[in-house]
Chains A and B, each alone.
Chain A
Amino acid sequence: MGVFRFSRKQLCIPYAVFLLCFVAAPLLVIIYYAFTNGEGNFTLDNLTGFFTSPYTIGTLAYSFAIAAVTTCVCLLLAYPIAYILARSQWKRKSVIVVMFVLPMWINFTLRITALKEILTVIEGNLAFHPFLNTVVGMTYDFLPFMILPMYTTLLKLDKSLLEAAADLGAGPFQVFGKVTLPLSVPGIISGVVMVFLPSMTNYVVLDMLYNSTYIMGSLIGSFFSAYDWHNGSMIALILLLIILVFTLVTDRYTEEDAGSRGGALL
């Protein structure tokens, strides 16, 4: 028996080696580069440089602002959509849900191209409203990622709780505020994670809409194309830490569905 079990376990060796080489090791390399200079000596210059340079700090602040506003707009649009869809008795409800998810399968650069053409017709020059256009572009890109987790949570919501609240004398607003909304928090949190983090790093939307790259993700690229691995690694490390903190904080509120990004795509 022992021999058989051993052979089954062995199957994970290639994948474990793959993960060690291309996921774990690169992280160590990034940490190494982030804390060394061109001569390979230990230094904190990259770290202090990031927090003292007005350009990098400004980019971080701008990215946060973009991500926060995009997340709020997505939340305000997606919650009613998810709520109406989850509560409705429409015969073709599943078709409508699929229609909201379907654009995710179209290459996002092509979708942004389409949006750009429309916005150009409306606004003329897109560079006049950079912040607004970025938020519009990202909302357009990420909205389905927000709708789906909230819809799933609201659909699973125990209807008898709502009836109980109403029976006990709660008005429709009270039922929503004290029962529906608190119970949909896990869906809201997963939606926020799926929108906030990408909108902090997705520099392509800005880049395509009006040739600007003033966002966290593109900072790595600008150091990278200057062959400055050390500062690039520091930015990557800072982004990684932000993502890690964000994930750890939100993890306890969400249900255990690790493949949420995957689940949303399929």
Chain B
Amino acid sequence: MKRNLGKIFIGCMLLLLYLPILVLAFYSFTTSANIGSVHGFTLDNYANLFSNEELRGMILGTVLLALGSAFLATTLGTLGAIGAFYARKLTKSAVGAMNQVPVINADVVTGFSVCIMLVVVLGIDKSTFVPLVVGHMVLCAPFVYLSVVPRLKQMDASLYEAAMDLGATPRQALTKVVLPQIQPGIVSGFALAVTLSLDDYFIASYTKPATFDTISTYVVNATKGSQTEIKTALWALSTLIFLIVVLVVVVMNLTERRWGTAPKVDK
């Protein structure tokens, strides 16, 4: 009985968590513009998502921004983590402390401070996309740094020395020994950076060009408008993202099961 109670509670919580998403998913396949009545089924919402130029541009822009700023943040954060790891204690703790600021700070404050610095003080135009990309790099790079550092700590320090003794140049030792060792940290840092950038609203709202929208800023504006066609197309987008996430999680679990023990070799 007690165990069943637990199961019922967990089940109810999952239901509450998924109910809005699933209801929206169901209605995204109908002709209705409001939850409640169903008159017929259609794929129009999904067609709109790809035929409406505004929607298509917004989705593509968000994805490109996420990949681009995640790539830059990963490069910068990884190099920073390696450098700081071998640097003097003072440099290391200074970089570590500055790295913590965007992590604990509210995104609103991060976005505001980046905007004040770049747009108000330095006078960079928002339409150059520089403030937006820098803002997302400030958001993401610290998390890349934090996911690479533990890998560096785990790494056998003598490997680098051994490579050098065997005649490798510092550059070779770095690319052929250090980078492969910390690769899992870099990959998860990149994935995290993409997720953070995709989910961001606050930094984008302060730093984006007026004519550009990310999914977040677009959705927030759209909920205030009354265009039902856009509204229901966003239901389709939500459903599509949900399906992609489920797919990614399932694939990740399956590959992890198959390669289960492989990543643990270096521990």
A interface vs B, CB < 8 Å?
Answer: 4-5, 7-16, 18-27, 29-30, 33, 77, 80-81, 84-85, 88, 95-96, 98-100, 102-103, 105-111, 113-118, 120-121, 140, 143, 197-198, 200-201, 203-204, 207-208, 211, 217, 220-221, 224, 229, 232-233, 236, 239-240, 243-244, 247, 258-259, 261-262, 265-266
Contact = CB atoms under 8 A, between A and B. Distances in A.
A12 B88 CA distance: 11
B105 interface: yes
Given A19-B95, A23-B138, A224-B112, A9 B76 contact: no
Contacts of B103: 258-259, 261-262
Query: Which secondary structure dominates where chain B touches chain A?
Result: helix
Nearest to A80: B9
B71 interface: no
Interface residues of B, number: 90
B208 to A, nearest CB: 14
Interface string B100-120: 111111111100111111101
B215 interface: yes
A15 B77 contact: yes
B264 interface: no
A16 B91 contact: yes
B124 to A, nearest CB: 12
B108 A201 contact: yes
Contacts of A84: 6, 9-10
Contact of A113 (B10, B195, B202, B238): B238
A266 B9 CA distance: 25
B83 A110 contact: no
B106 A201 contact: yes
Nearest to A88: B6
Could you say which of A5, A15, A30, A85 has the most chain B C-beta atoms within 10 Å of its C-beta?
Answer: A15
A11 B247 CA distance: 37
Given A16-B95, A117-B23, A258-B100, 19 more contacts: A8-B82, A9-B83, A12-B83, A14-B80, A24-B101, A99-B14, A102-B249, A103-B21, A106-B238, A106-B241, A109-B201, A109-B215, A117-B20, A140-B17, A204-B202, A208-B223, A220-B108, A224-B115, A266-B188
A19 B98 contact: yes
A92 B27 CA distance: 30
Interface in B1-59: 3, 6, 9-10, 13-14, 17-21, 23-24, 27, 35-36
Interface in B167-207: 170, 174, 188, 191-192, 195-196, 198-199, 201-202, 205-206
A7 B172 CA distance: 12
B108 A247 contact: no
Nearest to A109: B219
Contacts of A116: 223
Given A110-B219, A117-B20, A224-B206, A98 B137 contact: no
A240 B105 CA distance: 7
Nearest to A98: B249
